[in-house]
Amino acid sequence: MATDIHAKLSNLPFSAQKVRLVVDIVRGKSVVEAINTLKFLPKFAATPVAKLLVSAVSNAEENFGISRDDLYVYRITADEAPTRRWRRFGARGRFKPVLRRSSHVSVILRERE
């Protein structure tokens, strides 16, 4: 049975739709390759996802003694988090709603057999 290494990032201030574009790129890759890919990806959501991966790798090395070369991204998801609702005031006493969306990202790493 392979051990799963978990890491979670809550309330990331980017919409889940935008984070999924980044997350889909690294799913299934080796960890070293995924971190290098995220480093040069021209999306704002790539930086916090890369930090999350580095955190998961350090969890694996410190708690389980697994080398980073043996790890790969088994599962990574970006789910919707609570939406903050703001308002912009418009003409004739109306207001326009502004939705500030956020997301939760979770990653599970596994060791290659």
**CA 2: distance to chain centroid?**
22
Average pLDDT, the chain: 94
Here the CATH number for the domain that contains residue 19 is 3.90.470.10
What is the number of domains present in the chain?
1
pLDDT in tens, 50-98: 999 999 999 999 999 999 999 999 999 999 999 999 999 989 999 999 9
Strands (E), 1-113: 5-12, 71-80, 84-89, 95-100, 103-111
Residue-range definition of the domain harbouring residue 81: 5-111
pLDDT score of 3: 85
Specify the pTM.
0.89
1 pLDDT band, cuts 50/70/90, is low
